[in-house]
Amino acid sequence: MAFDLEKFFIDIFNPARGEVVTVMYDMPHGTIADNEAWKKRREMALEWHSKLAGLASKLGIKVNPVVTYKATGSGGAELPKNVMLGDSETALDSLLDTSTIVISMPEFSATAPLYSVAKKLKNLRVGSMPGVDKAMEETALAADYKVIIKRCADLAPYFERAKGAEVEFSSGHRCYFDISAGNRVHRSDGFLHPEVAGTERSGCNLPTGEVYVVPNEKANSRTAGELPVMMGSELAVCVVKANRIVDVKGKGSMVEEERRKFEGDPARANIAEFAIGCNEKARVRGVVLEDEKALGFHWAFGRSDHLGGTVGIKDFRSPSGVIHHDTVYAKGTPLTCKRLDMVFPDDTRKTLIKDGDLLV
């Protein structure tokens, strides 16, 4: 069955009459070079905008002209203060203040800055789609979001009850994640109806389907172990102590470069997310937006304040270095999750993933 944007839009946003919709994306400029996938994403954004504009009268909504802005060059970095609304320059803050639904389809993720704004505005909901492509209309975007809502609801209580989680990887490496800091557990289930505006649930990635939490980022954090990451053909092993990457073991030019990046900015070394993807239609294709929603485990380093953590832009040495980067271990990735156990305060355990299979 062909992807039905109208059904998707209504299922996700349930728009009320009078709502204002903004579709936005970034543009290459200067040293930030264009690429074919980016061009196709801009075409996709224009297609979605045209279809939503065609639905405006039927749904009783207003669809703004397409919004474009100069690419930041880094995922999670702050957006420009001014953007183009059609052919006219306008202040981004003012635009977001008068919008109630934003669909962001950029090359460089705008999730963090848009979430931060959405939580402060009483009417705004954000669907963030960095790296989205047309193929997802046949996979993760076409999922039954009622099923995803149920699966997220089933997973979340394990996160909420646990003091930590132990993960074993197919490489044999292990890492313990301290999730006992009281940080809110998030259900990214695609529910962006008007009633969640102005709350912690006012933004999510699309396609969606994951449960996540920011680990304990304090000095007493028990997050520790080794996190294996494939960098091309090179195996990098991130050594973690007190929720920080303190070393990167391995050989090769890519591993050396990664080690230098962590040494150069302590904020980058923060373990920012512990998560399980639960969208059964998501496929691992090397696009993190979809890969992280596939059934399985992922973690992230860097910025965390947009997820309820403490590490934000101010903690990075340069605005251009701000980053939130995910690594995925679902079936189909070079490294997978052999076992994931949630560990509860009485030291009992619940296995949620075994040999790459999600058991809940």
DSSP assignment of 187-211 equals EESS---GGGTTSTTSEEESS--EE
Read off the pLDDT of residues 172-209 as tens digits, 9 standing for 90 and up. Answer: 999 999 998 788 999 999 999 999 999 988 999 999 99
Mean of pLDDT values over 311-335? 93
Task: Give pLDDT, residue 122.
Answer: 92
Same domain, 209 and 247: yes
Single out the residue in 110, 132, 154 at which a domain terminates: 132
192 vs 125: CA distance, rounded Å: 6
Whole-angstrom distance between the N-terminal and C-terminal Cα of the chain? Answer: 28
State how beta strands 271-277 and 210-213 pair: antiparallel
Identify residue 29 by its one-letter amino acid code: H
Task: Give pLDDT, residue 76.
Answer: 84
Mean of pLDDT values over 275-286? 94
pLDDT above 90 as % of the chain: 90
Read off the pLDDT of residues 28-60 as tens digits, 9 standing for 90 and up. Answer: 999 999 999 999 999 999 999 999 999 999 999
pLDDT averaged over every residue in the chain: 95
Same domain, 118 and 267: no
Same domain, 336 and 281: yes
Read off the pLDDT of residues 91-124 as tens digits, 9 standing for 90 and up. Answer: 999 999 999 999 999 999 999 999 999 999 999 9
* Closest alpha carbon to 22 in 53, 43, 57: 53
Residue 138 inside a domain? The answer is no
Peptide linkage before 207 cis (omega within 30 of 0) = yes
Which tokens belong to 226? Answer: 């080794």
Number of domain units in the chain: 2
pLDDT above 70 as % of the chain: 100
Same domain, 122 and 156: no
Residue 137 inside a domain? The answer is no
Same domain, 51 and 157: no
pLDDT band at 83 (very low <50, low <70, confident <90, very high): very high
Same domain, 351 and 295: yes
Same domain, 10 and 159: no
Same domain, 185 and 300: yes
Residue 182 inside a domain? The answer is yes
Which tokens belong to 17? Answer: 């009459």
Residue 198 inside a domain? The answer is yes
* Closest alpha carbon to 271 in 291, 301, 292, 249: 301
Helices and strands counted in the chain (H then E):
7, 21
Please, where are the H alpha helices in 14-105? 36-59, 92-98
Position with higher pLDDT, 306 vs 127: 127
pLDDT band at 360 (very low <50, low <70, confident <90, very high): confident
Residue 96 inside a domain? The answer is yes
Task: Give pLDDT, residue 230.
Answer: 96
The torsion angle over the Cα atoms of residues 107, 113, 115 and 120, rounded to 10 degrees, is: -150
Task: Give pLDDT, residue 93.
Answer: 96
Residue 166 inside a domain? The answer is yes
Task: Give pLDDT, residue 51.
Answer: 98
Q: What angle do CA 284, 68, 42 make, to 5 degrees?
A: 40
Burial 258-280 (b: 16+ CB within 10 A, else e): bbeebeebebbbbbbbbbbbbbb
Count of beta carbons in the 10 Å neighbourhood of residue 140:
28
Q: Which domain holds residue 115?
A: 5-132
- Indicate whether 1 pLDDT > 60: no
Task: Give pLDDT, residue 265.
Answer: 95
Task: Give pLDDT, residue 180.
Answer: 85
Same domain, 238 and 337: yes
H or E element in which residue 169 lies:
strand 164-169
pLDDT band at 320 (very low <50, low <70, confident <90, very high): confident
Task: Give pLDDT, residue 173.
Answer: 98
3-state SS record for 84-117: EECCEEEEHHHHHHHCCEEEECCCCCCHHHHHHH
Same domain, 115 and 244: no
Same domain, 162 and 124: no
Read off the pLDDT of residues 204-244 as tens digits, 9 standing for 90 and up. Answer: 999 999 999 999 999 999 999 999 999 999 999 999 999 99
Count of beta carbons in the 10 Å neighbourhood of residue 226:
16
Mean of pLDDT values over 78-90? 97
Same domain, 125 and 147: no
**In the beta sheet, which residues pair with residue 297?**
276
